[in-house]
Amino acid sequence: MPQRPQLPLPRRLWLVRHAESEGNLADREALRQEADRLALSHRDADMPLSDTGRRQAAALGAHWRTWSPDQRPTVVVTSPYERAERTARIALEEATWDIQLVRDERLRERELGVLDGYTKHGIESHFPDEATRRAWVGKFYYRPPGGESWADVAGRVRAFLLSARLDCGGERVVVVSHQAVILLFRYVLEDLTERQILEIDRGSRLANTAVTSYVGDGSALRLEAFNDTAHLHEQEEPVTNEPDAATVAR
């Protein structure tokens, strides 16, 4: 069957994990106390940035401010979750870039359904059947009740990239999103296997405001950098990498 001509991809793509959130701090404390659940004051979609997170977002913007006009993004798209959108807005303000921010719900964090907010210990204690099922099915395909698997999120990423061909072909695009979503961009863009993406996940935690970048020719995107935190070192801000509150049990 002959291949149909495809619309062009963006020629540059930067994937940014949100800055440190209050949920990240709750995760750290829950692990310290060996608690079953995180002590959360907001639902996942409304989780605000921590004080450190706001500084991290500003550090990213300060780094962006040094870019020449022909390096700058032409499109900025964010998860609608508070911690991601706020990261994008702080960074854009600090960079003094006048770029409209676009929200896209396909970039939201992976949903854990009934397991949301539980630690690994809490799931094993309160949902032993789910813990057993996850161990059997595997991390990539396991879908908690009312939630999503990694494969489900990969489907969202594929849909987003199709829209990017339609709306952002040849553009320079920044995406501000979440840890699992960014890993699944790698899975889709690099045509990785389940085993390969899980090996990447085991090998490194994605830092808050870390940048994963791709460069391309319109037909494909090539990985340029992964988990880059140079902007934090430049501004002497801490590198943090706790999982999100909704993904402690990843």
- The residues assigned a catalytic role are 18, 109
The three-state (H, E, C) secondary structure of 172-212, written as one string: EEEEEECHHHHHHHHHHHCCCCHHHHHHHHHHCCCCCCCEE
Q: What is the tally of helices (H) and strands (E) in the chain?
A: 9, 6
Nearest to 206 by CA among 154, 142, 250, 162: 250
CA distance to 84, 98, 157, 224, 240, per residue, from 21 (Å): 9, 25, 23, 27, 10
Give the list of residues 6+ apart from residue 6 with CB closer than 8 angstroms, or none. Answer: 165, 219
Q: With contact defined as beta carbons under 8 Å apart, do 211 and 16 qualify?
A: yes
Paired tokens of 132 = 């057993």
Q: Using an 8 Å Cβ cutoff, are 156 and 188 in contact?
A: no
